[in-house]
A and B are shown apart, each in its own frame.
Chain A
Amino acid sequence: MSKVEYLDNIIDRFGPHLHDEPDGGWLSDRVIDKVVDTHCPYCGMQCGLKLLVEQDKVVGLEPRYDFPVNEGRLCPKGVTAYLQTHHPDRLEYPLIKRKGVFERASWDEALDLVVSKLRGLQEEYGKDAVAVYSGSSLTTEKTYLVGKFARVALGTRYIDYNGRLCMASAAAGNNKAFGIDRAANPWSDIPFAEVLIIAGANCAETFPIINGFLWKQRDNGGVWIVIDPRETPTARQGDIHLQLRPGTDAAVTNGILNVLINEKLIDQAFIDSRTNDWEATREVALKYTPDVASQISGVPAEKIVQAGMVYGRAKTGMIMHARGIEHHSNGTENVLSYINIVLATGKIGAKGRGYGTITGQGNGQGGREHGQKADQLPGYRSMLNPEHRKYVAGVWGIDESELPEAGVSAVEMFSKMRDGEIRGLLSICSNMMVSLPDTNKVRESLEALDFNVCIDFFMSEAARYADVVLPGTTWAEDEGTTTSGEGRVIKINKAIKPPGEARRDWDMLQDIAHRLGRGKYFTFSSPEDIFDELRLASKGGKADYYGISYEKIERQNGVFWPCPSEESEGTPRLFEEKFAHDDGKARFHAIEYKGAAEQPDDKYPLVFTSGRIVHQYLSGNQTRRIGFLVQQCPEPFVEIHPETAMKYQINDGERIKVISRRGEGVFPALVVNTIRRDTIFIPYHWGEQLAANQITNAALDPTSKIPEFKACAARIEKIHSRELPILGKGRKGRSASEVQRGK
């Protein structure tokens, strides 16, 4: 059992501290040794940028105009990303926790301890007593290696990753409807759509660079229909904003489909020739008149009609969505209900006609394709399919019978830790103490473990609970590929050496595998070496990377998968002629509105929803250490409508308590007209007492197993605190560690 006993000491030693200038300060007379073309490490846009290197130190950046996705554009996280590399909080040597205190250790000592503990637990409790939890910030090579490591080196069935918290519903919906899980169109198709439906996607803050494409569409005369409970900067500019109650998307989509049917705006020829199961969907949609949809969602019926008419009448159109519709206990159904609109109008498979999901994590797409999901093998093959298992086992050089069975999803894995079924954990680059719902339960899970090893390059809130912490590398210190939200495989290039004794993650995983006696399966000498095996392992799979090479990626500025042969240039646009199901047809799904797992009641009368802000990335482990980003928003806040605030006699800026059945936190109130009267919102990037996920509900979608981050019942209480918000205290604010400790 490993508890965090000295939080202040840990924060003092490992941060977060604010780092706000390049190594050596801001100097105008630098001599740049080399300029490295690479990509931003954050969201699924994977923008191109240039790193300026002086004496093996990244000292600045320059916009990179030659990468067609961003053409120089960068969000504030991208501009400041280079400040990660020489950050004082970087972990530069292995740490072993003794009596609650992390002490420096040698690599041999740390790895010997890791191997003896994991092996001991497996010998005593079985192979499945050890779990692996991974992340989608890793390169695809690393995610492939993590999957192989879990199944071949450890032989455990329990592996999952933080993409389960991000894209799982989108992936499940895409697979069910289209037979493949990838955005249907490249971003460059967006400007050619007459109308865009942007659902549950605060593009401006989560995916800023896509706004360039959105505005090109607007310049071309295009229209935006934004579906979001909050008036985000994107919704503010929407021509039509459907400000629905969180969790009621399926009512709105059925309402729009109802309008499309009644106004004869569906494409019957497309439905007949290229889809299945329309009739059942049609019957359900007919029940959701605009009035019915309005009563459920709170969106005026005339706006639902307007949205249906505008989208239906347009010759071209695209639908894009993100976590707002996916983070629900019926997230997969929400996704399918939007796809129903796409299929009913036949707006897919051509320039300006399409569909896409907006990927929050940098390698959210590649991370879910090559075997770090509980039920998946490389190439989007299934753990449950005997042929798939046989093929991958063959590539790995093991017998199929040696491959474990499918495991369970992320949240379920943590339940098994609490139950004592999983007793050891190896996590890599994922901050579960911030990113998972119901933080108090996650803490119990980590404290229940017999042994916990964490690989990361900063001491995250989750890493604080580890027995051993192994220092990994940032994106600037290694090479490899990632796959962006549009399905474009790009190449991250190495700019500098890892600091101190930090090692590249794939290198240390191989070392552990060797010490576990499985070294003959892990003989890679470079990321490209891993990629070459990945290509083979994915050959013939849904996510076929066989024809992609590092050279081709550089030459083409990225390669869209599937790319099945060396001759292929890749596939930027899907479904031009057929869908990926065996019969070539897409599937409709009749979706009834079900609502969130937890509805408001007398005791918890408000709907709580969570999300992001533009200055932080996911769990904040990387961005809460960058001075500029923290200064813009040092702590979370709770958005509340003025009428609701008045009801509770809450003033703007006043600290209030937000309470759910699972936990509570104190946050400054941001009283704004831009949120619904029945809804409150908190950004989730912080940990400990600032964690929004103390409040959220871990109810899972039955198909995707994504948690319901976006809707639960909550109440607010006035606490009569006169303390001002941290933001109100001047330019520098407080240090991140002060914020963490609530000082």
Chain B
Amino acid sequence: MMQETMFIDPQRCIGCRSCVAACRECGTHKGYSMIFVDYLDRAETTATMPTICMHCNEPTCAQVCPADAIKQTEDGVVLSALKPRCLDCRNCVNACPFGVPKYNSAMHLQMKCDMCYDRTSEGLKPMCASVCPTGALTFGKYQDVVPLRRTKPVNVHVFGNQKVETKVFLMLPTDEEAVDVDGCGVFEGRLGVDPSIHESWIDTQVEETDKGNEF
């Protein structure tokens, strides 16, 4: 069983998208990248955030799949949809609380980060974590990675009434035990911010490039 997992440390992300470029090099994706990097709000900060599949312990994408096309390995890695089974319904794309899976129109297939299962099952690191210049994406064993960091590993995320535990850890500089997505104002809108003030055009561009749910 694969003991290693991914650790995402947003504090370290420099927005270089090395991970995005490297993900395309993985033999199974054929040039598509399964990872996204967003500016949080370029008008205010240079901070960026990488998004990969969090590999939920109870993956919503798999639960809503009518064709049982999305499999989870014994090591907890959630795979892309199996091509013979995928029905093009895009339930998984719509259901994922993290907004990760994309639908490949040309291949009629849902595709998502599978933690480079072809590489990790042979003892290699995932492409994104291999190349990440800062360790914002790190692949390794919990007991090896966490003691080296001054951040807190969190793998519980609260979306309204849904509590999601993940194989992937977020490294956060807080004492919180969980990431409360409601509490950060995502669903309430940008509290206290004048709605007439738009995010930077760079943020918009990133949304256009990365947030489309189709390849």
Contact = CB atoms under 8 A, between A and B. Distances in A.
Interface stretch (B12-20, B103-111, B180-188): B12-20
A26 B31 contact: yes
A632 B18 CA distance: 11
Contact of B42 (A79, A672, A731): A672
B18 A642 contact: no
B82 interface: no
Interface string A93-112: 00000000000000000000
A188 interface: no
A577 interface: no
Name the residue in A209, A221, A671, A672 with the highest tally of chain B Cβ atoms < 10 Å from its Cβ: A672
B16 A28 contact: no
Q: Place the interface of chain B in its size category.
A: 35 or more
A28 B30 contact: yes
B85 interface: no
A219 B147 CA distance: 10
Contacts of B15: 204, 233, 614
A631 B42 contact: no
A21 interface: yes
Interface string A68-82: 000011111011100
B66 interface: no
A551 B70 CA distance: 51
B39 to A, nearest CB: 10
B16 A727 contact: no
A164 B189 CA distance: 51
A403 B159 CA distance: 75
Contact of A205 (B16, B127, B202): B16
Contacts of A76: 16-18, 20-21
A731 B210 CA distance: 8
A628 B11 contact: no
A208 interface: yes
Contacts of A63: 22, 125, 127, 130-131
B163 interface: no
Given A212-B135, A672-B42, A674-B45, A204 B21 contact: no
B57 to A, nearest CB: 28
B201 interface: yes
Given A61-B25, A670-B202, A74 B18 contact: yes
Nearest to B208: A730
Nearest to A653: B201
A233 B46 contact: yes
Contacts of B16: 75-76, 204-205, 208, 614-615
Interface string B135-165: 1000000000000111000000000000000
25 contacts: A21-B31, A28-B28, A28-B30, A63-B130, A65-B130, A73-B132, A76-B16, A78-B18, A79-B131, A211-B14, A211-B133, A215-B12, A233-B48, A237-B12, A614-B16, A642-B43, A668-B201, A670-B201, A670-B202, A673-B44, A674-B44, A725-B205, A727-B201, A731-B209, A731-B212
In the A-B complex, list the 3 residue pairs whose CB atoms are closest, starting with the nearest. A26-B31, A653-B201, A204-B14
Given A21-B31, A28-B27, A214-B134, 15 more contacts: A73-B131, A74-B130, A75-B16, A75-B131, A79-B22, A204-B14, A233-B14, A614-B14, A615-B17, A631-B209, A652-B198, A674-B46, A727-B202, A728-B204, A730-B209
